[in-house]
């Protein structure tokens, strides 16, 4: 199940702080989530919807614009491990290279790719992040309001 699907299943339950998707964990903006480092929580419906909108934009960014080098092989040479990678490609490019898509699906993906504006997408992601941060519930972990 996708992250957005898991969030939709959660409903009004509290999510964030190590038990569920937080921005630092899902987007990769940190080295994990601990109770002390992730005091911000997203408990409201508007925060839930803002997170869903952010994930939709990040999906486009990661699948169409962010190249990834895939590990081809690892070989141990003494105490070192020699890793070989293929050329960096986006998931979209890798999918097109497999030739498993129908012509209609290929055309739909190509149309979606050509409609993307990287600068506008980055600005929209930044806007959604700012909106999400403004919706964070910044109460301490115990639930009592801060002084």
**For residue range 108-142, what is the model confidence (pLDDT) as tens digits?**
999 999 999 999 999 999 999 999 888 887 766 55
Q: What angle do CA 101, 104, 109 make, to 5 degrees?
A: 70
pTM of this prediction exceeds 0.85: no
Q: What is the pLDDT of residue 78?
A: 94
pLDDT at residue 1 greater than cutoff 60: no
Strand partners, 71: 85
How many whole angstroms separate alpha carbon 39 and alpha carbon 136? 9
pLDDT recorded at residue 144: 56
- Nearest Cα neighbor of 54 from 140, 143, 136 is 136
Rounded Cα distance between 14 and 63, Å, is 29
Q: Is the pLDDT of residue 27 over 80?
A: no
Where in the chain are the domains?
Answer: 3-134
Q: For 63-107, how does the pLDDT look when each residue is reduced to its tens digit (9 = 90+)? A: 999 999 999 999 999 999 999 999 999 999 999 999 999 999 999
């Amino acid at each position: 199940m996708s992250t957005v699907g898991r969030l939709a299943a959660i409903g009004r339950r509290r999510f964030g702080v190590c038990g569920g998707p937080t921005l630092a964990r899902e987007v990769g903006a940190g080295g994990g989530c601990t109770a002390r480092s992730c005091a911000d929580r997203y408990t409201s419906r508007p925060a839930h919807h803002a997170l869903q909108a952010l994930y939709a934009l990040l999906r486009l960014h990661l699948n169409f614009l962010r190249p990834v080098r895939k590990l081809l092989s690892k070989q141990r040479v003494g105490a070192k491990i020699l890793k070989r990678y293929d050329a960096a490609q986006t998931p979209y490019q890798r999918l097109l290279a497999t030739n498993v898509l129908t012509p209609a699906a290929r055309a739909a993906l190509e149309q979606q790719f050509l409609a993307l504006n990287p600068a506008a997408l980055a600005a929209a992601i930044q806007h959604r992040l700012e909106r999400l941060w403004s919706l964070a519930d910044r109460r301490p972990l115990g639930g009592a309001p801060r002084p």
